[in-house]
Amino acid sequence: MQSDVIYTYYPLLASLLSMVMSQCVKLITMLIRRQPFKWSSFTRPGGMPSSHSALITAITLSVGLTDGFDTTAFFICVALSFVVIYDARGIRHTVGNHARILNQTLLKEGPKHLNEQTGHTFPEILVGGALGGIIAWGMYHLLNF
């Protein structure tokens, strides 16, 4: 019975684990770089690796592995992946650049109020996608589907 539940929810579990692991890597990186540790950083967007890419890659791969790579569900996941990754790299990265410019010009007299790290660079997306793929692939084989 328990393995049936895990099998049923495997795509969801793989994607959530990928997102959480990605955020944990960000916290570990902060400690290694001796940056101030803040628990709020666990939920903040941006940085290495991309949790958006990790989550969407894990769910797309896990749906492909369980339902097949020639199914409608997999094709929908692929299309959604393009939207999420485009948003993380393109739109939100540009928003971060705008926040940096505003902080430097308009808000230079007081503390910086705008989050400059909302999007992702291409390497952050690649590492996040690789992390999501590794976790989804590993869980799939660990659970012996």
Q: Which of 111, 114, 109 is nearest to 99 (CA)?
A: 114
In this prediction, residue 108 carries a pLDDT of: 60
Number of other residues whose CB lies within 10 A of the CB of residue 41: 17
Q: Which of 37, 23, 28, 27 is nearest to 131 (CA)?
A: 23
Tell me 90's DSSP state: I
pLDDT tens per residue, range 62-87: 999 999 999 999 999 999 999 988 88
- Distance in angstroms (rounded) separating the CA atoms of residues 141 and 119: 32
State yes or no: cis peptide before 36, omega within 30 of 0.
no
pLDDT tens per residue, range 91-120: 766 776 666 776 677 656 666 566 666 667
- Distance in angstroms (rounded) separating the CA atoms of residues 53 and 10: 18
For residue 88, give Cα distances in angstroms to 22, 110, 125.
15, 28, 8
* CB within 8 Å of 82: residues ≥ 6 apart: none
In this prediction, residue 111 carries a pLDDT of: 61
Q: Which of 125, 123, 130, 139 is nearest to 52 (CA)?
A: 125
In this prediction, residue 33 carries a pLDDT of: 80
pLDDT tens per residue, range 10-58: 999 999 999 999 999 888 887 888 877 777 666 676 778 888 899 999 9
Average pLDDT of the residues in 121-129:
88
Q: Are 59 and 140 in contact (CB under 8 A)?
A: no
In this prediction, residue 1 carries a pLDDT of: 45
Q: Where are the domains of the chain?
A: 2-142
pLDDT at residue 7 tops 80: no
* Amino acid type, 131: L
